[in-house]
Copies of this chain bind each other. A is one copy, B any other.
C-alpha cells in the first residue's frame, strides 16, 4: 500500500496569440504570423498536455481587444478553436470564456454540452459578464449594462444553463429498437423557466454532457464577482499582486461558501502568474527588460486608460497618474481597476513605469527568475493558503510555455507538488471536482 499522495496543485495554461506580454509579438521567439493557423494552437495545446497541465484556457471578448495597429490581436473564436483542439489532445481540459451579457443561455448551454461530448468530458466555461462598452456597441447597445444588473443576469443565466444540462437524464437514451423507444417517458423534460431576464422552455437538444455540467470557472474579483463565484464557480482565476492580497482574497472567497452549502474543496483558486524565465536571474531580468524595451507607449497608454476608466492621452509618461474615479463609478472590470490603482499608489509609479509593470500580465503578477525561483514562489503561495493552483500566463509563445513545461514543471513534480501522469479522464477529474448528479426518475 502506498501512502496517500500529498496535496497537489493545479495548473492552467492561459494561451493568448503571441503571448501575454503586450510586446511579445515583436520578440524574435514569437510567431504572430500564425495566430489564425490552427497548427500553432495544436502545438501549444500539445505542449501543455506534455506538461500534464490540467487545462488550456482562452480569454474572450466580443469586440476587438486592443489596437490592431500595435498588437497581434484578433484571431480564433474560443469555442470553435477548442472544438478543433479536442481532436489533437487526449487529456487536457479545454476552457473557453463566454459572456452571459451578450449571449442566450440556450446557445451557451448547448455549445458547451456539445464541446463536452466532443472532447469526452473536457469542457470548461469561464463565465464573464463582460466589461467593455465596445462589446455593447457590437450588440445594439450604446452603453454597457450596469455591473449589478450584469451579475443578476449572470446568476439567472447559470440557473437556466444548469437546468438545460439536466433536462436529459444521464441514462435517457435506452435505444430500444424492438419497442421503438429511444428515450423513456420523462427522461427528457422541458424546464419551463420563467425569470426576470429569461424565459426558456427547453429541453436542451443535446444529451447530458459526460461531466454532467462543464467545469464552471469565474474570473471577476469585485464584490459581486466574489459572491457569484462562491455560489456557482468551481475554479476561480484571479489577479493578485502580493501574497498578502492573495491570502486575503482566498480567505474572503472561501468564507462565502458556507451560505451556499459549499466547502473549500469545491472551489479551486488559481491566481495568475506571468513567469519570465532565464537560466539565471540576470538572464530573466534581461528578458523582462528586452520585452519592456519593445513596448509601444501609445498602445500601453490606451490599455491603461481602458483599465482605469480614465483618458490618459497627452499626459506626460514620466509623470504620475491623475486623480482617479472611485471603484463604484467604474462599470467595467472593477477589481482590475482597483488592483491597478493600488499598485500605482503603493509603489508610486509614473505612467511609463505602470505601463511597463502591466505589459506582462495586464495586472496579473509578473515574476522574472530562474525555474527554481518560479517553482519556489508557486510553492510558497500554495503552502501559505493563497492558491490551489495557478493560471500560467507565458509572456511569449510558444517558447514561454515550452520553457515552463520543460524547466518548471519537472521541479514541481520532483517536489511532489504536481502530477507526473494524468490519473483521470475528465477536466473535473483533473481538478478533483465531483460530477454533478443528474435527475433521476
Contacts and interface: CB of A to CB of B under 8 A. Distances in A.
Interface of A: 25-26, 28, 32-33, 36, 38, 42, 61-65, 68-77, 79-81, 83-84, 86-88, 102-104, 106-107, 110-111, 113-115, 117-118, 134, 137-141, 168, 172-173, 175, 177, 180-185, 187-188, 198-207, 294, 296
Nearest to A206: B74
A77 B108 CA distance: 10
Q: For the complex, would chain A's binding face be called helix, strand, loop or mixed by DSSP majority? A: loop
Given A68-B188, A87-B88, A140-B200, 10 more contacts: A26-B180, A32-B173, A36-B206, A38-B117, A42-B87, A68-B172, A70-B182, A72-B175, A77-B206, A134-B201
A25 B177 contact: yes
A75 B69 CA distance: 42
A121 to B, nearest CB: 11
A134 B65 CA distance: 36
Contact of A72 (B72, B141, B182): B182
Given A77-B206, A104-B102, A177-B25, A84 B183 contact: no
A18 to B, nearest CB: 10
29 contacts: A28-B177, A32-B175, A36-B206, A36-B207, A62-B106, A62-B107, A62-B205, A63-B205, A64-B188, A68-B172, A69-B183, A69-B185, A70-B180, A74-B206, A75-B206, A75-B207, A76-B114, A77-B110, A77-B111, A77-B114, A79-B79, A79-B80, A79-B111, A80-B118, A84-B84, A106-B139, A134-B201, A140-B198, A141-B199
Contacts of A63: 201, 205
Contacts of A187: 68
Which 5 residue pairs across A and B have the least CB separation, nearest first? A83-B83, A77-B114, A137-B201, A80-B83, A80-B114
B33 A175 contact: yes
A181 B87 contact: no
Contacts of A68: 172, 182-183, 187-188, 203
A111 to B, nearest CB: 5
Nearest to A39: B87
Contacts of A77: 110-111, 113-114, 206
Residue in A63, A74, A177, A184 whose Cβ sees the most chain B Cβ within 10 Å: A74
A36 B117 contact: yes
